[in-house]
Amino acid sequence: MVMKIRCSQCGSTRFVFTEYHEEEHNVHGARCANCKKCLDSQDLLPTTPMDPITQCLLASQKTVRAPD
């Protein structure tokens, strides 16, 4: 499944990974690169359609597998 991220506060699709800090125990992995909001499940777009190139690449991986 392909998931895309879009900040629900500012609309940016750019994000940065974060590190764990004791004083910020609720920050768990990523922030918006534009507004610095902590990303959560509201920022995921799970129903984003796959682009045709990705679909083609995934289909070719399924058909060209080495024998077991």
The domains of the chain are located at: 13-61
pLDDT band of 49, cuts 50, 70, 90: low
Q: Write out the DSSP string of 1-68.
A: ---EE--TTT----EEE----GGGTT--SEEETTT-PBP-GGGEETTPPPPHHHHHHHHHHHHS----
> With pLDDT > 90 as the criterion, what percentage of the chain qualifies?
9
**What's the mean pLDDT when you consider all of the chain?**
76
